[in-house]
Amino acid sequence: MSDQCLRVGIVAGEASGDILGAGLIKSIKEKYPNAQIEGIGGAQMIAQGCHSHFDLEELSVMGLVEVLSRIRRLLAIRKHLVQYFTKNPPDVFIGIDAPDFNLGLELRLKKVGIKTVHYVSPSVWAWREKRIFKIEKATNLVLSLLPFEKEFYDEKGVPCTFVGHTLADQVPVEPDKESARNLLGVQGDNPVLALLPGSRSGEVNMLLERFIATAFILNERFDDLQILIPVVNQQRKQQIETYLKEIKAPNNFRIIIGHSRDTMVASDAVLLASGTATLEAMLCKRPMVVAYRIKPVTEMIMKRLYKPKYFSLPNLLSGRELVPELLQEDVNPEKMASLLEGMIKSADRDMLDTFKDIHLTLKRDADKAAASAVLELIQK
């Protein structure tokens, strides 16, 4: 296999997948500089040379109910990709997360003889365990980010490689808070609260009002509090900016495009939506409160299907309630403000020490490990 003919199909479903995809593409191109990469990716994947057939935002849909309202468009996109890659077969197709979209795509491509990889294991250990049979049919290999996932796949006899997490490689084990504050222009020792209500429009709609209300309460309890809101793109900036103008928020609220990691490192505490951002906050060694809200119908379904005791990654990785988790109506501004107030005043050393231990477990040069596993699969 020469780099002139290496072709990789790849689809990421949201901002976190864009990060993983960019690192994977970069590592593949270190060995095959002329490799052709195409599919669906965000700004970071495109910057690494991925040709994106559709905007990543089209796949960034949260919740079971919300997916139904967009199902025709999602199916049309998937049909296009199946037809395109069938006519122009890549050496391998990699679906990054977004299992409800990517597994169906992988299944169809594998049936026509294309090798397929699913990067980021679906939470089969948590709910809908029988999906592992679909995963086995749809993929030649699963790349897992978390150690307990590989154990689960090994028990079921499904090929899986634990590669660690690229964020664990990117974030220093000892983050530099002072440098992050200088970069963002934070004054002196002023307390800083980071708000991350999600990377998708639906998440922001569900959480923003309560997150901002929490910040208003903390404004009354701390002098010179700085409230930083990092966003993934211009759409999220506009969405949040519009709301802040409507409620006439004070000027200590700042929206920052990008720099989510710097914002977390610069903060004294983080209030955020459940998801990959909780892992990043943990790697940044910052105390956090994790919140999530979903539609009532989705909640009813999840209550019946979801098995684990916890839903945030720090708690799942530690096996205990390391950080506060709040769901649905527990996402209450007074409650969140009380939890965050204590964190801003004094960090929990046990929490931060455990964050460091988990960080070292996940730090495995994930981009190169994932690329090596993919290239080995191609060469078989």
- How far apart CA 225 and CA 186 sit, in angstroms, is 10
pLDDT tens for residues 164-216?
A: 998 899 999 999 999 999 999 997 789 999 999 988 888 888 899 999 999 99
Report the predicted TM-score, pTM, of the whole model to 2 decimal places.
0.75
Task: Quote the pLDDT of residue 380.
Answer: 84
Q: Give the tokens for residue 315.
A: 């708690």
Most confident option among 14-23, 128-137, 362-371: 362-371
- How far apart CA 269 and CA 65 sit, in angstroms, is 32
The DSSP element (H or E) to which 18 belongs, if any, is: helix 15-31
Q: List the beta bridge partners of residue 290.
A: 272, 325
Q: Is residue 109 very low, low, confident or very high in pLDDT (cuts 50, 70, 90)?
A: very high
pLDDT at 295 over 90: no
Q: Please name which of 336, 353, 316, 97 lies closest in space to residue 207, comparing C-alpha atoms.
A: 336
Task: Quote the pLDDT of residue 328.
Answer: 84
Residue 324: C-alpha distances to residues 126, 198, 284, 314, 353 (Å): 19, 17, 17, 10, 16
Give every CB contact of residue 59 below 8 A, 6+ residues apart in sequence.
Answer: 11, 12, 13, 14, 40, 74, 77, 98, 101
Mean pLDDT across the chain: 90
- Kindly state the DSSP code that residue 171 receives in the 8-state scheme: S
Buried b (16+ CB within 10 A) or exposed e, 133-162: ebbeebbbbbbbbbeebbebbeeeebebbb
Q: Please name which of 152, 73, 138 lies closest in space to residue 110, comparing C-alpha atoms.
A: 138
Task: Quote the pLDDT of residue 187.
Answer: 79
Q: For the chain, give the percent of residues with pLDDT over 90.
A: 71
Q: Is residue 300 very low, low, confident or very high in pLDDT (cuts 50, 70, 90)?
A: low
pLDDT tens for residues 32-78?
A: 999 999 999 999 999 999 999 999 888 876 545 556 667 888 899 99
**Residue 214 · residue 336 · CB < 8 Å:** yes
- How far apart CA 353 and CA 285 sit, in angstroms, is 8
- How far apart CA 117 and CA 202 sit, in angstroms, is 28
Work out the average pLDDT over 147-158: 91
- 102-106: which pairs have CB atoms within 8 A and are 24 or more residues apart? 102/11, 102/13, 103/131, 103/134, 103/135, 103/138, 103/139, 104/78, 104/138, 105/11, 105/78, 105/81, 106/138, 106/139
The DSSP element (H or E) to which 299 belongs, if any, is: helix 296-305
- How far apart CA 374 and CA 88 sit, in angstroms, is 19
Task: Quote the pLDDT of residue 219.
Answer: 95
Better-predicted residue by pLDDT, 301 or 118: 118
Three-state SS for 199?
coil
Three-state SS for 196?
strand
- How far apart CA 121 and CA 109 sit, in angstroms, is 19
Q: Is residue 128 very low, low, confident or very high in pLDDT (cuts 50, 70, 90)?
A: low
pLDDT at 21 over 70: yes
Task: Quote the pLDDT of residue 63.
Answer: 47
- How far apart CA 24 and CA 30 sit, in angstroms, is 10
Q: List the beta bridge partners of residue 52.
A: 39
pLDDT tens for residues 217-247?
A: 999 999 899 999 999 889 999 999 999 999 9
Pairing verdict, β 92-96 and 50-52: unpaired
Q: Measured in Å, how far apart are the chain's first and last C-alpha atoms?
A: 11
Instruction: Give all domains of the chain, ordered by start, each with its CATH number.
Output: 7-164+364-379 (3.40.50.2000), 177-362 (3.40.50.2000)
Backbone angles phi, psi at 52, to 5 degrees: -100, 125
Task: Quote the pLDDT of residue 188.
Answer: 79
Residue with token string 């296999």: 1
